[in-house]
Amino acid sequence: MTFLKKIWQNNKLFILFILLMSVFRSAVADWYTVPTGSMLPTIKVGDRIIVNKMAYDLQLPFSQITLFTTGEPQRGEIVVFESKAANNRLIKRMIGLPGDRIEMRNERLYINGDALNYQITEQNYQQLFAIEQVDSIAHIIHIDKNKTNKLSNFPSITVPTGHYLVLGDNRRNSADSRVYGFVPRHELKGKATTIAFSFDYDNYYLPRKNRLFKDIYSL
């Protein structure tokens, strides 16, 4: 019996488990470690986000080949994508679908001419928090008044076919479509669904108990 056969005979269950887990993470679901605060307060630095990789496409495992489309992103969803423009994997909120006209005036979003429902919940001289309603999804946005407001306005633009406009919830601290442009459909990798667990980097990497398996779409 060869050396490789011995390894297989002695460890075949473990090897099969690793193989199946790798296939699962490649094509079905995975988690994403959030390195920045661009999605605060919805997502904190240190969160591990579960991503449904079958939400929009079923891909051949360990490849970029799409076997078939399973769905389309909706406004308000949080998506993970491999941005060629940013040369990085990013996580942002879906705001504009193909054909939508999007505008931002003093932090306020307009979609196809209609202003989104926007309710300020907390404000002081340093920051502002507001609940923003995107279709059926309500979420909290953060505006850091200490940062320049150069990203707080843009004129009406139409999202081209096969592309999307995405924004971070931390509006003045997010490099998103205002910086890198529209996101092509083929760059989408999945829909963020849940915070699996979270480490507090400012508190000796201790886990945040209140974020264990937290629904990412709950306020």
Which residue of the set 53, 83, 92, 198 is catalytic? 92
Q: How far apart are CA 1 and CA 171, in angstroms?
A: 62
Taking the C-alpha atoms of residue 133 and residue 123, their distance in angstroms, rounded to an integer, is: 18
Helices (H), the chain: 3-27, 177-180
Active site residue 38: yes
User: Which residue is associated with the tokens 């953060």?
Assistant: 142
- Residue 189 annotated to the active site: no
Q: Which residues contact 138 (CB under 8 A, 6 or more apart)?
A: 131, 132, 219
Rounded Cα distance, 137 and 143, in Å: 19
Both tokens assigned to 175: 């490099």
Identified catalytic residue from 38, 83, 174, 198: 38
Catalytic residues: 38, 92
